[in-house]
Amino acid sequence: MNGVTEPMHTAAPHTRKWVLFKLTLYLGAAFALLSCASINSQPAIEPDVTLNRYEYASIHMGSRCSIVLYAPTEHEAAASARAAFDEIARVEETLTDYRPDSESMRATSQPRGTWVIVSQILFEVLERSALFYELSNGAFDPTVGRFIHLWRHAQLESRTPSRVELVDAAYAVGFSSIQLDKANNRVRFMRAGIILDFGAIGKGFAADRALEILRSHGCDAALVDIGGDIAMGDPPPNNPRGWDVSVQSGNGAEWSTPLHSSAIATSGDLERHYEQNGIIYSHILDPRTGVGVTHRRAVTVIARDGTTADSVASIVSVLGEQIIPVLEDRFPGIRILIETRPRYDQQP
C-alpha cells in the first residue's frame, strides 16, 4: 500500500514555509456528472458514471503529500492513488542526496568524465534543470549540493562555513560541467565531487509525474500536493472553474483563485532558514557565492506544470523581480508574485 491511507473526507490546511496553502476542496460533492473515463475509447452510449471524491495522504520527500481524485469506486481510487504515490517514491529514491546509493549519488561518484547511462527520471530532471540553469544565468543550479552539505555541517557546529571551505566547495559546483547525451540517455560530470541537490525542482517534478500516472489510470480530475508544491489536472467535476486554492501570506493577506491544468509553488525563508550572528540565511543559496540569500522574499508561482512552478519560485527567490520578464517571455501565462520583507540584518 505504500502508506496510502483510507480516504479522508476533509481537506486539512497545509502549512508551508511562511505561506499557508489552504485547499478549499469541495466537500459534499460526492456525486458528479462527468465521467473520468470519458477520454478513454469507451463505447459512445456508455451510461454516465457517478464519480466520488477521494483523498489520500502519505509522507514522501520529507513532506506531507496528498492526492485528491475523482473515481467511480473506492477500489479504483485507491489503486490509482497507490500507483501515484509509488511514482513519487520512485522519483525520491532516484534523486535523493540523503542516500549514498541513490541513482543520483551513484552517478556523480563515477570517475570524472565517465559516461553513465541513467534512468528516464534522472535524465529528464537533469534536462529540465539545464533549461532553468541557462534561463537564470546559473542562479538555479542543482550542483549546489556541496554547498548545502557544507552549510548543514556548519549549522551543526553553530557557525557559518569559512571562506576557505566555501572556495573549496565551489570547485564541485557548476551545472555547465554536466554533459547530457539525449540520444543515449547518458550523462557525464566533468568535475569531481559534484553532489546533485534537486531540492528546488524535485517536488514539482514528482507532482507532475504523479499527475501523469493518475491520468493514465483515467483520473483526469485530480490534484497532487507535495508539501505545498501542487499540480492539478482537470477541474473537479462539480466545479468547472477549478480547484479552489487560497494562499495566505505571513501578514494575513489572503487571495484565492480557482486553478486547473496548472501548478502552484512557493519559495520563501520563514520556515526553512538558518540564523547565525543575527543574519537569516534562506535555505536557497546563491550558487555564485555559496551563501544563503538574505533578501527575505516569498515567491508564489503559478505555471503550467509543477516542475516549472517549483524551479521558477527558487529562481525568483535568488534573483528577484529583475528576472520576471525573462521568465514571462519563456513561459507565457506564468504568474509570479513576490512579497518582500525587510532583510533581517536591516530590521531595527
Q: Does 310 contact Mg ion by CB under 5 A? A: yes
Residue 327 DSSP symbol: H
Q: Considering CB distances under 5 to 8 angstroms, the limit depending on partner class, which of Mg ion, ligand ADP, none binds residue 236?
A: none
20/100 Cα distance (integer angstroms) = 33
Contact pick of 64, 106, 186, 272 for ligand ADP (by CB under 6 A) = 272
54/287 Cα distance (integer angstroms) = 41
Contact pick of 314, 315, 327, 341 for Mg ion (by CB under 5 A) = 314
130/142 Cα distance (integer angstroms) = 9
Determine the interface stretch with ligand ADP among 102-110, 152-160, 193-201, 216-224 (rule: CB under 6 A): 193-201
Q: Does 200 contact Mg ion by CB under 5 A? A: yes
Question: Which position's Cβ is nearest Mg ion?
Answer: 314
Q: Does 91 contact ligand ADP by CB under 6 A? A: no
- Residue among 204 and 237 whose Cβ is closer to Mg ion: 204
Contact pick of 91, 144, 245, 319 for ligand ADP (by CB under 6 A) = 144
- Do the bridges between strand 243-248 and strand 254-259 make them parallel or antiparallel, or are there none, so unpaired? antiparallel
Contact 94, 103 (CB under 8 A): yes
Q: Does 149 contact ligand ADP by CB under 6 A? A: no
What lies within 8 Å, CB to CB, of 273 at 6+ separation is: 280, 281, 282, 283, 292
Shortest Cβ distance from residue 138 to ligand ADP (Å)? 9
| Binding interface with Mg ion (CB under 5 A) | 200, 267, 310, 313-314
| Binding interface with ligand ADP (CB under 6 A) | 17, 139-142, 144, 148, 197, 199-200, 203, 267, 272, 283-285, 287, 310, 313-314, 318
